Amino acid sequence: MKPLDFGGEGVTGSVNADGRLIALNFYHPQQGYVTLTSAEPFPEGERYNPPMVRAYRNGLAHLDGFGARFAAPIVARSFSLIESAIPRIDLQVASVGARAASLQTTGDISCVTCASGRGAVQTITMPPNLRLRWGGRLCLQRCAYTQLTEGGPLPMPPLKMRIFCQDGLLIIHNPEIDAAVAIAGLTAICDAQDAETLVELILPLASDTHLTLAYGVGQTADEAAANARWLRDHHDTQAAISHWRGVTAGLPDDPLARRGINYSLMMAIPVGEGTCLITDHMLLPLSWNRDAYFMARALLSAGQPEVVRRHLLWMFETAERPDGAWARCYTANGSVKDPAFQLDQQLYPLLEFADYMLETGDQAVYARLLPSVKATLAELEARRSGDSLLFATDETPADDPIALPYHLSSHILMWHTMTQLNRIGAAGDWAERLAPLRETIQQTFVAQHQGRAIYAYAADGAGHFHFYHDANDFPLALAPAWGYVPPDDPVWAATVAFAFSDDNHGGVYAGHLGSVHTPAPWALGDIQEMVIARALKDPAREEKAWASLRAAAQPDGALPEAYDATTGEVVSRYWFAWPSAALACVVLDAFKQ
């Protein structure tokens, strides 16, 4: 089973089927995101080895973790998500000495885990006289940031931990990165030890029917200890449940859509006055503007405008732009991780700003960010290809090299973004360019392919075309919803027919839209098919896409990046906020004009 996730106010983590934490992660102003995990550090020499990256990332879903171990074997497991957000693991353990053929159970055990900005709390309720221990392998380090398309590794700091007990708390401190975790609720006394490798700890615990373990986080041991004590003394599980109940109130009663909203909120990391939206907390706790747009769009439609407001502040005022353009991706503190230029990454923040203004009318944000919006438009203007309305990109939205410089879906996105900016009076000169831009797109990208006029995936403006479509390229699927073309437009209809056919080499797998980035069906591809089916008023096709998504979804409702079309097993990324958020957008009808 995929581990269950929890999070809140910058602290995130996951718990496995035995109720043990596989990771506790939190924001760090210098490192971006750090983790206390039972995973081995990623081997630095393999950063450019995609099979090794895939194997490492897959392994994170199957860690033994750290936490309570019970004196008797676990014979049954089940789980639930309280208010679609707080993991509860229910266990049954066998009586000591019971024969396998006639197992008897000592009773039920439940582990409930939730988080706040100070750390995380796990409450364990169990039968009387059941003994347990706390232990596991521990590594406190900056998150690995393992990428399939590495844009330049960030050197990992040394792994030097000091583990000690102080005033009844177990403290794990890595002074090399100024990060610490303190655990309250462990009654054992341990000797101090220093470690430069992953550590195994086993501590005895007194028997009790109710145990609260508070994991405080901080940059220093003292800060982590203070947070652990506060959580131990003040944490209120019922208050946490009430919070998530308020989040989901009024939302569609669909577990996959609710997962999209709740996980996006868990990935909302406070950074000063702003909020960073990271794409996941386990594999890539980094921010891509594209992923973040769909998360913000879902949150805006789900009644969470304050998170979107804070994300806009982070995007326009915190995220670095050394050459005036947004980078491919960022660490949570706003530092550039990969500097590659992708055209759509420049547009999604502008679209998010326009969407936010159209739905909230927040004049304070409008006045504050308008100068940055104008500067962004000026930066785009400087990147025009001569006098045309074409703009080159270095990479595809899959972070892969592009065959030809001009990318179709990014130009459709540009037309929609400028249209939305024009609606709020922030488009500048683009107000007069919308019709010429559309004409340029039609002239540049429409070409004959196997006797039909369709849109090319990429072009060079000189008669050369690349015919392909990718699960990452949502703007083509959204073109009718955005008003770029009517749903019965013959070129668009022919293009999406091509996109889901075997003629789309490298883009279609067993009848499902995927990507050369990870050759398999993608959840994002099925969501595109839902969008297209709605445009074409084809309910049978929409239900087919729904069935594929439900088969690929994990037990907690999480959608992977890619999956096996036959078994539904995850091929790539157990954790990925974008597809779950995009599905929530469809369910909430967030893409309507």
Which of 244, 279, 305 is the last residue in one of the domains? 244
Indicate whether 76 and 199 sit together in one domain: yes
Indicate whether 143 and 71 sit together in one domain: yes
Residue 522, in any domain of the structure? no
DSSP state of 149: S
- Phi, psi angle pair for 419, to nearest 5°: -65, -45
253-257, Cβ contacts within 8 angstroms, sequence gap of 24 or more: 254/587, 255/84, 255/553, 255/557, 256/549, 256/550, 256/553, 256/557, 256/559, 256/580, 256/583, 257/583, 257/584, 257/587, 257/588
Q: Which residues pair with 24 in a beta bridge?
A: 13, 36
Residue 105, in any domain of the structure? yes
Indicate whether 181 and 68 sit together in one domain: yes
Mean pLDDT in consecutive groups of 10 residues from the start of the chain, 593 residues: 96 97 98 97 96 97 92 89 96 65 61 96 86 86 97 94 89 96 80 65 67 95 97 94 94 94 98 98 98 98 98 98 96 97 98 98 98 97 95 97 97 98 97 98 98 98 97 98 98 98 98 97 98 98 98 97 96 98 98 82
Question: Helix/strand/coil (H, E, C) string of 213-255?
Answer: EEEEEECCHHHHHHHHHHHHHHCCHHHHHHHHHHHHCCCCCCH
Indicate whether 466 and 489 sit together in one domain: yes
Indicate whether 211 and 283 sit together in one domain: no
Helix (H) or strand (E) holding 349: helix 343-360
Residue 528, in any domain of the structure? no
Residue 49, in any domain of the structure? yes
Indicate whether 238 and 333 sit together in one domain: no
* Cα dihedral value 477, 480, 483, 485, nearest 10: 100
Q: Assign 50 to helix, strand or coil.
A: helix
Domain that holds residue 60: 4-244
Residue listed under structure tokens 């699960």: 471
What tokens does 441 get? 């797109």
Indicate whether 219 and 289 sit together in one domain: no
Indicate whether 108 and 29 sit together in one domain: yes
465, 447 contact by CB (below 8 A): yes
Q: What is the pLDDT of residue 188?
A: 59
Please give the biggest Cα pair distance in the chain. Answer: 82
59, 39 contact by CB (below 8 A): yes
Indicate whether 183 and 294 sit together in one domain: no
Mark out the alpha helices in 446-538 (DSSP H runs): 474-482, 490-499, 523-535
Which of 244, 273, 303 is the last residue in one of the domains? 244
Task: For residue 414, give Cα distances in angstroms to 115, 179, 295, 455, 531.
Answer: 39, 42, 19, 16, 19
Residue 144, in any domain of the structure? yes
Which of 209, 244, 279 is the last residue in one of the domains? 244
Which amino acid appears at position 407 of this protein? H
CB burial class (10 A; 0-12, 13-18, 19+) of residue 255? Answer: middle
- Could you tell me what percentage of the chain is helix, strand and coil, using 3-state DSSP and rounding each to the nearest 5? 35, 25, 35
- Separation of alpha carbons 63 and 331, rounded Å: 25
Q: Assign 66 to helix, strand or coil.
A: strand
Q: What is the pLDDT of residue 191?
A: 61
Residue 389, in any domain of the structure? yes
Indicate whether 229 and 363 sit together in one domain: no
- The number of domains in the chain is 2
Indicate whether 325 and 404 sit together in one domain: yes
Residue 534, in any domain of the structure? no
CATH of residue 153: 2.70.98
Residue 520, in any domain of the structure? no
The C-alpha angle with vertex 25 and arms to 137 and 272, in degrees rounded to 5, equals 155
CATH of residue 321: 1.50.10.10
Indicate whether 283 and 411 sit together in one domain: yes
